[in-house]
Amino acid sequence: SYFEKKAKVWQRKYARRRHLAKLLVLQDRNKKVLCPRSLESFTNWQKAQKSKTKCQAKAANQRRDYLHKLTTHLVKQYDVIAIEDLKTKNLQKNHHLAKSIANASWRMFRQMLEYKCEWYGKKLIAVDPKNTSRICSKCGYNSGAKPLEIREWT
Query: Over the stretch 89-148, which tens digit does the pLDDT of each residue have?
Result: 777 777 777 777 777 788 888 899 999 999 999 999 888 777 766 777 778 777 777 776
Instruction: Output the CA torsion 94→100→90→106 (10° steps).
Output: -170
Distance of alpha carbon 93 from its chain centroid, rounded? 14
Q: Which helix (H) or strand (E) holds 123?
A: strand 123-127
Distance from first CA to last CA of the chain, Å, rounded? Answer: 32
What pTM did the predictor assign?
A: 0.69
Residue 15, pLDDT score: 95
Q: Where are the alpha helices (DSSP H) in 32-97?
A: 43-77, 88-91
